[in-house]
């Protein structure tokens, strides 16, 4: 295991960042530190146990110590309500350096190499994610929508970028960008505007790594594509006919005169013969007007070889040059965008992280701060799944994610472990497993 990516080192990164938190309190009630509040909330997300802190307070009383202390470094365990009140004024940006440090360590350990494709590019998928919604609870940072019947819904959402790769079931979470009312703007904030802010903020950090941004049709607009190129990114975005009429008129004209490039590939899969039909063209206007950005376009239609039934169809716009040799890898790269839904959003919502559960809304930043800690917990588990052989062995043996976390919850409720390594060793010994050399 790479030392900088071991569990204790990941937690230490979080500790170093939390040590720099500004303390907003002016009174005498400083029994619990902001650091303990943040670590306590993080431990709940990492163990996927809403009752983790309550169990650790009980253990502290009976044993004099707790797993909150030994595993996460919590000196004094606050109650849930105290955690909410302490964290509410803290902007989530204070925690963002942990994402940067983990990404840098993954790069140094060459763990990012397995995520590279398309001429060595990393794919960063962008997508919006709603993580809170209510018709009653709201704060100054809520977005809102009013239905035809006059009912207003308040919600929080964010752009949650992740590194994805074809054929790789893991995703690497990066810094989110929150969709919130912006000072000096009359219009309500939106996903496209948040994506532009993210590109501007993080281009210096990520663009030099050879990065292709991917996203759905919402992002395939000239201002965003131009910004991506100006900041050093490539782009590979879903491009639908209804929202790109000028481009598709050109495609229809090329098709009519036989100038549209075409390639068919037959593949024998577990489901039988499948035919991948590609159409592509380079140098097409993304929109009408003399100032149109010229892009390259490709389309894939996957059909069942026997009866011609369409199994998949999509099309993409990109700045990458398209040829017979590159069209397949480009389409594979474009299709990885949906991993942000399957391996990121869906996991966070339905696989134990309970992303849409209201852990606390607050009056200022609590909701977004807790989302950030949840994303960090997800990132830490991804890193361990990449580099920790004991963790990998247990996850593969306890193949169901639910079983693994059920065991973690039960063991940490009743047994005091000196370290994360101690916990993993205990589980491996109990299951009579052998760690590979």
Query: In the structure, what pLDDT confidence band is assigned to residue 105 with cuts at 50, 70 and 90?
Result: very high
CA distances from 229 to 69, 213, 224, 236, 320 (A): 47, 10, 9, 11, 11
Nearest to 367 by CA among 36, 31, 140: 140
pLDDT tens digits for range 306-333: 788 999 999 999 999 999 999 999 999 9
More confident residue, 1 or 339: 339
pTM of the model: 0.92
The span from the CA of 32 to the CA of 356, in Å, is 27
Query: In the structure, what pLDDT confidence band is assigned to residue 177 with cuts at 50, 70 and 90?
Result: very high
Query: In the structure, what pLDDT confidence band is assigned to residue 230 with cuts at 50, 70 and 90?
Result: very high
| Domain ranges across the chain | 1-104+357-437, 238-323
Please tell me the predicted confidence (pLDDT) of residue 400.
80
* Most confidently modeled range among 23-37, 102-116, 264-278: 102-116
pLDDT surpasses 70 at 10: yes
pLDDT tens digits for range 326-360: 999 999 999 888 766 665 556 666 655 566 566 77
Please tell me the predicted confidence (pLDDT) of residue 185.
55
Nearby residues of 369 by Cβ (< 8 Å), 6 or more positions away: 87, 88, 90, 91, 92, 95
Nearest to 281 by CA among 297, 293, 292: 297
Task: Measure the CA angle with vertex 7, ends 213 and 61; round to 5°.
Answer: 130
User: Which tokens is 112 given?
Assistant: 């990012």
Query: In the structure, what pLDDT confidence band is assigned to residue 154 with cuts at 50, 70 and 90?
Result: confident
Please tell me the predicted confidence (pLDDT) of residue 149.
80
Query: In the structure, what pLDDT confidence band is assigned to residue 4 with cuts at 50, 70 and 90?
Result: confident
Q: Mean pLDDT across the chain, nearest whole number?
A: 90
Query: In the structure, what pLDDT confidence band is assigned to residue 70 with cuts at 50, 70 and 90?
Result: very high
Please tell me the predicted confidence (pLDDT) of residue 422.
97
Among the residue ranges 30-34, 240-244, 370-374, 427-431, the one predicted with the least confidence is: 30-34
pLDDT surpasses 80 at 151: yes
Output the DSSP codes for 102-137.
HHHHHHHTTGGGGGEETTTEEEEE--EEEEEEESS-
Q: Are 162 and 124 a contacting pair, CB within 8 Å?
A: yes
Query: In the structure, what pLDDT confidence band is assigned to residue 2 with cuts at 50, 70 and 90?
Result: low
Report, as an integer, the average pLDDT of 14-21.
93
% pLDDT > 90, the chain: 70
The span from the CA of 279 to the CA of 300, in Å, is 7
Please tell me the predicted confidence (pLDDT) of residue 206.
95
User: Which tokens is 4 given?
Assistant: 């900088």
pLDDT surpasses 60 at 64: yes
Output the DSSP codes for 2-65.
-GGGSHHHHHHHHHHHHTT------SS--SS-HHHHHHHHHHHHHHT-TTHHHHHHHHHHHHS-
| Residue 400: Cβ within 10 Å count | 9
The span from the CA of 418 to the CA of 409, in Å, is 16
Query: In the structure, what pLDDT confidence band is assigned to residue 362 with cuts at 50, 70 and 90?
Result: confident
Please tell me the predicted confidence (pLDDT) of residue 401.
82
| Residue 324: Cβ within 10 Å count | 11
User: Which tokens is 399 given?
Assistant: 């193949």
pLDDT surpasses 90 at 436: no
More confident residue, 80 or 296: 296
Q: What are phi and psi of 120, to 5 degrees?
A: 80, 15
% pLDDT > 70, the chain: 92
CA-CA-CA-CA dihedral for 72, 74, 77, 82, to nearest 10: -100
pLDDT surpasses 60 at 212: yes
The span from the CA of 131 to the CA of 122, in Å, is 26
């Amino acid at each position: 295991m790479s030392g900088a990516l071991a569990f204790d080192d990941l937690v230490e990164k979080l500790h170093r960042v939390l040590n720099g938190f500004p303390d907003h309190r002016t009174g005498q009630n400083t029994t619990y530190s902001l650091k303990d509040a943040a670590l306590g909330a993080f431990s709940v997300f990492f163990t996927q146990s809403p009752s983790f802190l309550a169990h650790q307070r009980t253990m502290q009383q009976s044993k004099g110590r707790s797993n909150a202390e030994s595993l996460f470094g919590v000196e004094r365990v606050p109650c849930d309500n105290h955690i909410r009140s302490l964290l509410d004024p803290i902007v989530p940006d204070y925690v963002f350096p942990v994402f940067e440090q983990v990404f840098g360590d993954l790069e140094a350990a060459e763990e990012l190499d397995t995520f590279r494709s398309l001429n060595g590019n990393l794919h960063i998928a962008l997508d919006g994610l709603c993580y809170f919604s209510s018709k009653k609870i709201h704060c100054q940072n809520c977005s809102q929508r009013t239905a035809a019947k006059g009912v207003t819904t308040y919600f929080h959402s964010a752009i949650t970028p992740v590194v994805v790769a074809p054929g790789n079931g893991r995703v690497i979470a990066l810094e989110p960008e929150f969709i919130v009312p912006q000072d000096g703007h009359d219009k309500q904030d939106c996903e496209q505007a948040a994506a532009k802010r993210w590109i501007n903020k993080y281009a210096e950090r990520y663009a030099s790594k050879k990065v292709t941004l991917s996203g759905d049709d919402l992002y395939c607009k000239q201002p965003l594509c131009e910004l991506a190129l100006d900041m050093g990114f490539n782009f590979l975005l879903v491009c639908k006919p209804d929202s790109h009429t000028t481009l598709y008129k050109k495609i229809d004209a090329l098709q009519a005169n036989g100038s549209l490039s075409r390639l068919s590939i037959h593949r024998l899969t577990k489901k039988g013969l499948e035919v991948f039909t590609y159409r592509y063209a380079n140098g097409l206007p993304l929109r009408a007007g003399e100032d149109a950005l010229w892009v390259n376009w490709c389309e894939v239609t996957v059909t069942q070889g026997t009866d011609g039934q369409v199994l998949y169809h999509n099309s993409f716009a990109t700045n990458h040059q398209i040829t017979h040799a590159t069209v397949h890898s480009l389409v594979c790269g474009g299709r990885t965008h949906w991993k942000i839904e399957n391996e990121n959003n869906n996991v966070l919502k339905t696989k134990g992280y309970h992303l849409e559960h209201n852990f606390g809304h607050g009056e200022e930043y609590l909701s977004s701060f807790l989302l950030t800690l949840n994303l960090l917990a997800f990132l830490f588990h991804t890193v361990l799944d990449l580099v920790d052989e004991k963790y990998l062995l247990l996850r593969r043996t306890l193949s169901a994610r639910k079983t693994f976390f059920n065991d973690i919850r039960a063991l940490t409720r009743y047994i005091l472990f000196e370290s994360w390594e101690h916990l993993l060793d205990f589980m491996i010994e109990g299951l009579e497993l052998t760690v590979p050399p």
